[in-house]
Amino acid sequence: MTTFTSEDLKNALAGAEQQDDDNKNYKETYLADAIRFKMKRDKKRFWAGDNISDYISEQDKSKLIDEATEAFETVLDRLLIDRENDPNSQGTARRLAKMYFNEIMAGRYEQAPDATAFPNDTEDRYQGMLVVRSELRSICSHHHQPVSGVAYIGIIAAKKLIGLSKYTRIAQWCARRGTLQEELCNDIAREIMKATGSENVGVYIQAVHGCCENRGIMAHSSLTQTTVLRGAFETDPGTKKEFMDNIKLQQEFAPR
């Protein structure tokens, strides 16, 4: 068993302090720190569910992936995983970094999908309800565990319409971040209102959460449902009922 003298401890602390100073100087060379500094200066929120694409260029992304790779290497080292000799762990740090930026959190770093709007303002314009079913993949910001489910997006058409696939593109763009289902439901409603100009929007999500299935309570069949209602969906019981009935019809057509 190794015993430490107080002298050892003092030396170790001095070493750590020195390293801390080195880290501080070194950190300033990270692009991620420069971007964080800018966002703080602009009072731009950069939570796991926020889009920060205005602060990141396409070239920045490859530098950020390099920096995250280095950080994930440290995480693997701290977890005592032999990334030098274990063939399955070689390259894992880079795979993780790329996966975060390009896939599971891509919605933070990419601009909103462009949703060309078509006029819906003639005499015989569509005035009914539209319900779109969108499959979603996300991760929870608490545990970075997968969340998978379906969103049903309902709107009463306003004076413009967007392509049907755009509802799903917008929903997926919101989902591919670190989210909470409650927050995600709100985000999708807000972005759909923005893209369609409709004040009357409903979003219902049902999803299973990896953080409840793979750990913690290990509940294999737990399902979480959230609903956000805006405009007539909230105030008119008939509209709300039509939305909920449509969801049931959709579920008969394509069970989750």
Which residues of the shown chain bind Zn ion in the complex (CB under 5 A)? 140, 142-143, 211
**Other Cβ atoms within 10 Å of 112 Cβ, number:** 15
CB of 212 to Zn ion, least distance (A): 7
- Of 48 and 244, nearer to Zn ion (C-beta) is 48
- Of 158 and 180, nearer to Zn ion (C-beta) is 180
CB of 255 to Zn ion, least distance (A): 25
- Of 95 and 142, nearer to Zn ion (C-beta) is 142
- Of 95 and 215, nearer to Zn ion (C-beta) is 215
- Of 147 and 155, nearer to Zn ion (C-beta) is 147
Residue number with the shortest CB distance to Zn ion?
A: 211
- Of 89 and 224, nearer to Zn ion (C-beta) is 224
CB of 219 to Zn ion, least distance (A): 12
CB of 91 to Zn ion, least distance (A): 27
CB of 119 to Zn ion, least distance (A): 43
CB of 105 to Zn ion, least distance (A): 15
With the C-alpha atoms ordered 45, 57, 167, 178, is the resulting torsion angle positive or negative? negative
Residue 61 identity (one-letter amino acid): K
Residue 229 identity (one-letter amino acid): L
- Of 69 and 145, nearer to Zn ion (C-beta) is 145
CB of 82 to Zn ion, least distance (A): 29
| DSSP string covering the chain | -----HHHHHHHHHHHHHHHHHHHHHHTT-HHHHHHHHHHHTT----TTS--GGG--HHHHHHHHHHHHHHHHHHHHHTT--TTT-TTTTTHHHHHHHHIIIIITHHHHSPPPP--EEE--STT---SEEEEEEEEEEEETTT--EEEEEEEEEEE--SEEE-HHHHHHHHHHHHSSEE-HHHHHHHHHHHHHHHH--S-EEEEEEEEEHHHHTSTT--TT--EEEEEE-THHHH-HHHHHHHHHHHHHHHHHS--
By residue count, the chain amounts to 256
**Other Cβ atoms within 10 Å of 186 Cβ, number:** 17
